[in-house]
């Protein structure tokens, strides 16, 4: 049972209760029998409606299969993958240079004579 609400300025206006009925449709089940089923049950029976997650998973699997086939056939990797790899290599080189600069600066600082013995 569901009550209809008509909101007024006071936000309280109880009205009559009414019964909600399921949306029944005539259909055939897997055995071929004619049945009455609600829309939710019809969708479950048909199995056509795939969720977004399932669709995403299927697309991911298809991409993996395509990659495996490409590797087996000896084809080159996609250009996007090579670009990513090149970017990573570039970043590594940059980091190595930075570390080398810091080490050189530290060495230079260590070799510099101090101002201990000098007076003004």
Q: In this structure, what is the dihedral angle of CA atoms 102, 106, 109, 111, given to the nearest 10 degrees?
A: -130
H helical segments located in 1-120: 39-46, 52-73, 79-111
Q: How confident is the model at residue 117 (pLDDT cuts 50, 70, 90)?
A: low
Identify the DSSP state of 25. Answer: E
**Mean predicted lDDT score pLDDT of the chain:** 78
Phi and psi at residue 110, to the nearest 5°: -70, -35
More confident residue, 4 or 38: 38
Res. 49: pLDDT tops 60: no
Tens of pLDDT, residues 21-39: 889 999 888 888 899 999 8
Q: Which long-range contacts (CB under 8 A, 24 or more apart) does 88-95 make?
A: none
2 contacts 18 by C-beta, under 8 angstroms = yes
Predicted model pTM: 0.30
């Amino acid at each position: 049972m569901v009550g209809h609400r008509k909101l007024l300025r006071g936000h309280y206006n109880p009205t009559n209760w009414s019964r909600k009925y399921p949306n029944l449709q005539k259909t055939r089940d897997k055995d071929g029998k004619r049945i009455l089923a609600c829309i939710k049950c019809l969708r479950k029976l048909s199995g056509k409606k795939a969720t977004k997650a399932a669709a995403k998973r299927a697309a991911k699997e298809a991409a993996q299969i395509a990659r495996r086939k490409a590797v087996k056939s000896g084809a080159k990797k996609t250009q996007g993958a090579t670009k990513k790899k090149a970017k990573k290599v570039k970043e590594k080189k940059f980091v190595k240079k930075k570390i080398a600069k810091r080490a050189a600066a530290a060495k230079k600082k260590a070799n510099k004579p101090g101002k201990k013995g000098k007076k003004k």
